[in-house]
Amino acid sequence: MSFDLTTRLSERRTAHLYRQRPHLQSPQAPLVRVDGQPLLAFCSNDYLGLANHPEVITAMQQGAAKWGVGGGASHLVIGHSSPHHELEEALAEFTGRPRALLFSTGYMANLATVTALVGRGDTVLEDRVNHASLLDAGLLSGARFSRYLHNDAASLANRLDKASGNCLVVTDGVFSMDGDLADLPALCAEAKKKDAWLLVDDAHGFGPLGATGGGIVEHFGLGLEDVQVLIGTLGKGFGTAGAFVAGSEELIETLIQFARPYIYTTSQPPAVACATLKSLELLRSEGWRREHLNKLIARFRQGAAEIGLSLMDSFTPIQPILIGDSARALQLSAMLRERGLLVTAIRPPTVPAGSARLRVTLSAAHSEAQLEQLLEALADCWPLLAVPESMEAVHA
């Protein structure tokens, strides 16, 4: 018996689900060069436009000159450098929590945290459209795993009634493919009734949301007693790389002792931590970035409604255009690219079958004129989009 990889790949192509990596030949910015073509991009998670900020670049260069370019070892061996320590303290202060712990990736932070907190005999309850890393973490933890209906506190309450052992409720803060917010006040209320803990992965909330960019917890005015485990990534609103978990002294010490992806991974380069310290400073002090971003979001939604596009319930930088059929989503993406715009088509299994979409993401680095260019192109392309013989069912 041998692996028939050719058939698997062919089937994926036939279903219009084959993925290809765009070759970015320029820094992250609205104007990029991809596969040799100059394009105006609306698909980056660099929400505040900090990934190519000159002060952040300088901080990383100076950090590399002082600390070198590699972490050298895991944090528990000799890889925990002063910049890492300083960044953890700054992130703890930023989130209003006693401690924070750095990770090299968001996937690693989610996997490490869930598997360190629960195991056999415990229960993990997750929103059905959580990020893949959260779902994988729940499955790999060995705990009893169940998914509640999307953003449905009543569905969560029903599953909490059946939970056993320690119970961990897990949700995205901003759902990455839909752009909507978790109903945290309602979820917190249900979790408290059953003495369950709430874990929020706010990868897409830090930076755009909250008065100071503190994310969904700041947006709703919640604290440590409401959300015991708060996770954020640094490669989106912060514009750098890595992730962190913020919480109590006991939580962070538990992760240091028991989270295998933390214990057995080399630390991120100290220079990245230096860059993130600068981006955190800019994220907090330059409120105009969030103000400009919010204006762009409002204008896009207004313009999309005038065109007749089907949007989702989102006031975040993530503005999906719901298409339904994967082939049509690819067609619209290709038509926009012919007009010099890069907007990625998102298809199953990343999203449910029948809910393929173009995932428009806005950045504070976009100008109003660039947004109008996108809306004009969508207005031109939308009427030309082919209607398939049999439409896939569209699921919200």
Q: What is the set of active-site residues?
A: 176, 204, 236
- The C-alpha angle 275, 269, 80, rounded to 5 degrees, equals 105
Note whether 199 and 113 are within 8 A (CB). Answer: yes
Contacts of residue 137, Cβ cutoff 8 Å, sequence gap at least 6: 110, 111, 113, 114, 115, 170
Angstrom CA distances, 167 to 148, 158, 162, 242, 249, stand at: 14, 13, 10, 27, 20
- Please provide the size of the chain in residues: 396
Note whether 217 and 231 are within 8 A (CB). Answer: no
Angstrom CA distances, 140 to 110, 232, 255, 315, 324, stand at: 11, 21, 16, 33, 31
Three-state secondary structure call for residue 346: strand
Cα(178)–Cα(176) distance, integer angstroms: 6
